[in-house]
């Protein structure tokens, strides 16, 4: 039975209570307050819903993750990075990144990054929890991504690209920085061929929960504005 969250508590049901079909649906309701969002990621779930639906919280099993030390940089992408066609920055324009990620895609109807979601993650950005990666070409924003950083874990949310390979360059640059900063895992949530090409793989939800327990409160060396 699906749990409906109450607004007067930040508690989520145990992860093993998530439905098998649809895979990982854990709870519904609640709100997108910064405190609840932080509690959700710390617990091992994330919000994902479409306009007109109730707020839904998910914890799929297995979970798609990328270990920074296992990142696969293709020869063609490495060559593109060396050419310095793109410039990559961090936290320069979070609002523009999340707006671009929310824009309609040719292969999908609508967006799950509703205006309410955008405002919620902007709040987390102002608190220093959510971060953006911007990719520029000739001074124009052509790609990027955003996610949350907690302890030694990075929770990826969405990416976009207006130019071929722009988001790939941004992601590769981010992974390199996260490795330098002592991060041990990047949460990719759901599998895609794009992510698997970088070395992402599936782990059991229970194993993911263990990483949360061990690394959420460990220090990192991140300097997002360097």
For the record, the structure tokens of 33 come out as: 């307050």
pLDDT at 109 over 70: no
The yes-or-no verdict on residue 110 having pLDDT over 90 is: no
Least confident of 6-10, 93-97, 116-120: 6-10
Position 106 pLDDT exceeds 60: no
The whole-number average pLDDT for the span 200-210 is 98
What tens digit of pLDDT does each residue of 46-60 get? Answer: 999 988 889 999 999
Q: Is the dihedral of CA 159, 180, 39, 89 positive or negative?
A: negative
Mean pLDDT (whole number) for 26-48: 97
Instruction: Give the pLDDT confidence of 181-202 residue by residue, as tens digits.
Output: 999 999 999 888 889 999 999 9
Tens-digit pLDDT profile for residues 125-184: 999 999 999 999 999 999 999 999 999 999 999 999 999 999 999 999 999 999 999 999
- Give the per-residue pLDDT at 7: 84
- How confident is the model over 76-85, as pLDDT tens digits? 999 999 999 9
Alpha carbon 224 to chain centroid, angstroms: 16
> Domains along the chain?
3-60 (3.30.70.3550), 64-216 (3.40.630.70)
Cα separation, 188 vs 63, in Å, equals 8
Strand-pairing partners, residue 156, are 147
Quote the CA–CA distance of 205 and 60 in Å, as a whole number: 7
Burial environment of residue 146 by CB neighbours within 10 A (0 to 12, 13 to 18, 19 or more): buried
Query: Global pTM?
Result: 0.95
pLDDT (0 to 100) of residue 107? 47
């Amino acid at each position: 039975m699906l749990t409906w969250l109450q607004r007067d508590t930040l508690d989520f049901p145990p992860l093993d209570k998530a439905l098998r079909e649809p895979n990982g649906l854990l709870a519904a309701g609640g709100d997108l307050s910064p405190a609840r969002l932080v509690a959700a990621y710390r617990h091992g779930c994330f919000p994902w819903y479409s306009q007109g639906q109730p707020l839904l919280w998910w914890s799929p099993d297995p979970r798609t993750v990328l270990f920074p030390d296992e990142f696969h940089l293709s020869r063609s992408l490495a060559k593109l990075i060396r050419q310095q066609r793109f410039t990559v920055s961090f936290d320069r324009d979070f609002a523009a990144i999340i707006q671009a990620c929310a824009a309609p895609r040719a292969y999908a109807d609508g967006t799950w990054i509703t205006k309410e979601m955008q405002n919620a993650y902007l709040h987390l950005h102002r608190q220093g929890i959510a971060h953006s990666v911007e990719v520029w070409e000739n001074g124009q924003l052509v790609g990027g991504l955003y996610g949350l950083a907690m302890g030694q874990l990075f929770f990826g949310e969405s990416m976009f690209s207006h130019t071929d390979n722009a988001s790939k360059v941004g992601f590769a640059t981010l992974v390199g920085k996260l490795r330098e900063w002592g991060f041990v895992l990047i949460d990719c949530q759901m599998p895609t061929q794009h992510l698997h090409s970088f070395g992402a793989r599936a782990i059991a939800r229970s194993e993911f929960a263990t990483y949360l327990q061990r690394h959420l409160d460990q220090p990192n060396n991140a300097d997002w504005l360097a």
